[in-house]
Amino acid sequence: MAMQSSSKASIFQRFDNYQPSKTLLVWACIMTAAATMIVGFTWGGWVTGGTSRTAAEAAGEIARGELASAVCVERFNTAPDAASKLIEFKALSDSYKKRQFIEAGGWATMPGQTSPDSRIAAGCSTALSA
């Protein structure tokens, strides 16, 4: 008679009485860790140290370029003949010629550098054209 009552145990009672083996627990932990890593790297936004370093370097380059372009624009605008140079600059139609104009004027040469930087000149040209 006791046998019949145990076969009619509810799912909660069977769950309470269940005792998994150590092997099953270890595999469950391994699979849970693997699933967590897969979800984290695919949908969670986790990245490796190398990817993070690459992204930080790229962001630094962009920020440095924007700052240098802002310095270039400021140097252009504070030049004694800025108004006439701006008219001359805006008269140029080609972006390449505008960049050359900025480089030739010396505004794209940052302190400590001996030659103009074409990326700075391009950013400065874009800012002055706006």
Tell me the per-residue pLDDT of 36-77, one tens digit each, with 9 for 90 and over: 999 999 999 999 999 999 999 999 999 999 999 999 999 999
Domain residue spans of the chain: 11-42, 65-129
Place of tokens 């008269």: 91
CA 78 – CA 27 distance, rounded (Å): 70
Tell me the per-residue pLDDT of 108-129, one tens digit each, with 9 for 90 and over: 998 888 999 999 999 999 999 9
pLDDT of 2 above 50: no
The overall pTM is greater than 0.75: no
Residue 45: how many other CB atoms lie within 10 Å: 7
Residue 7: its pLDDT value, please? Answer: 62
